[in-house]
A and B are shown apart, each in its own frame.
Chain A
Amino acid sequence: MQASVIVFPGSNCDRDVKVSLEHATSKKVNMVWHGDSDIPKSDLIVLPGGFSYGDYLRCGAISAKSNIMKAVITAANKGTPILGICNGFQILIEAGLLPGTLMRNAGLKFVCKDAYLRVENNETIFTKKYSAGAVIRIPVAHHDGNYFADDDVLDKIEDNGQVAFRYATQAGEVNDQANINGSRRNIAGIYNESKNILGMMPHPERLDQAILGGTDGAHLFNSLVNSLA
C-alpha cells in the first residue's frame, strides 16, 4: 500500500501518521505540500491532524480551498481511499466530502485525553481488523470536534452505515457521560456514502505501538494494508 500524507501550514501530526503508516506498510510515505497540484499515485491519501492556518475562519476552512485539495477531491470522487484525522476530518467536512459539520466542543474546553470508541461498522477497508462492536481506546486532542448535522442527515448516515465510531464508556455504552464533546449521537467518525472516505476526531496514530502505551490504533492502519496492499 502506497500512502501519501498532505502537509498543510500548521499540520502537526503529519510526521506521526507517517511513522504509523511506514510501520504498517514498510514503505516510504509520500509527503505532499498543500501548494502542490498533483499527488503521486497513491492507494491511500491521509489528511493529518494539526491546526492548519491557525484554525482561522473555521477549522479546516482555509485548507479545504488549498490547491492540493482539488487533486484530493478528484481522487476521492474516483474512489481513492481518504483518511482525515482531527484537523484532517475538519478539512474533509469543509471540502464537502463528508456530511455535517464540526463545532466548538459543547464544554468549550480543549479536550486532550484517551477516549473510548465503539466500532459501529467493521465492514469497511478502514475497520475490518476490528471485531464488530469492539470498544477501542484512542486519544483525542481537539477544541472543535462537536459533530453536528440535522436529524434528516443523521438518519440518512445511520441508515447507510456511515457512522464509523461513537464515543462510549469503557464498557461500550454510548451515553451522554461518554460524549466528550457534545457530538450528536456521540459520533466520533463518519464515512462518506461509498465508504472510501473516513473522517475521525480521535488520533489512531498516537496509540499504534506498545511503546506508546497501546495498539488499538494499529488495527486501523493494518485494515487498510490488508484491504489495499
Chain B
Amino acid sequence: MKARITITLKSGVLDPQGKAIQHTLDDLGFEGVTKLRQGKIFDIEINETDKTKAETQLTAMSEKLLANMVMENYSVEILD
C-alpha cells in the first residue's frame, strides 16, 4: 500500500525558512504571495492491505519519528 505523510509546522511556530523562501519568490517577481509555510513529505510503501491497520501504523510512525510533536503536525493519506 502506498501512502503519503505530510509534515507541517504548527501555527504559531516561527518559520524562518518559509519566510526566506517567500522573500525570494518576491525577489523573483512573484507578487502577491501573502503567506508561505514550508514542510516535508514522506512517500511510504508498506506491506499492509488493510487500510485501517495501515493508517494505525502510519500514525504511530509519524508520532514516534517522522514528526516532532512539539512543533509539527502530520497528516496521513492512503494513496491506493
Contacts and interface: CB of A to CB of B under 8 A. Distances in A.
Contacts of B13: 103, 148
A104 interface: yes
A94 B14 contact: no
B20 interface: yes
Interface stretch (B26-34, B45-53, B64-72): B64-72
Nearest to A100: B70
A182 B16 contact: yes
B65 A103 contact: no
A108 B20 CA distance: 8
Contact of A61 (B16, B17, B65, B71): B65
Contact of A101 (B12, B20, B71): B71
A61 B68 contact: yes
A60 to B, nearest CB: 10
A54 interface: no
Q: Decide if the interface of chain A is mainly helix, strand, loop or mixed.
A: loop
A155 to B, nearest CB: 16
Contacts of B16: 103-108, 146, 182
A58 interface: yes
Contacts of B12: 150
Interface residues of B, number: 11
A94 B16 CA distance: 21
Contacts of B14: 103, 106, 146, 148, 182
Q: Decide if the interface of chain B is mainly helix, strand, loop or mixed.
A: loop
Interface string B39-66: 0000000000000000000000000011
B70 A101 contact: yes
Contacts of B71: 101, 103, 148
A103 B68 CA distance: 11
A103 to B, nearest CB: 7
Interface string B1-33: 000000000001110110010000000000000
A-B complex: 7 closest residue pairs judged by Cβ atoms: A101-B70, A101-B71, A106-B16, A108-B16, A101-B68, A108-B20, A58-B68
26 contacts: A57-B65, A57-B66, A58-B68, A61-B65, A61-B68, A65-B65, A94-B68, A101-B68, A101-B70, A101-B71, A103-B13, A103-B16, A104-B17, A105-B16, A106-B14, A107-B16, A108-B17, A108-B20, A146-B14, A146-B16, A148-B14, A148-B70, A149-B70, A150-B12, A182-B14, A182-B16
Interface of B: 12-14, 16-17, 20, 65-66, 68, 70-71
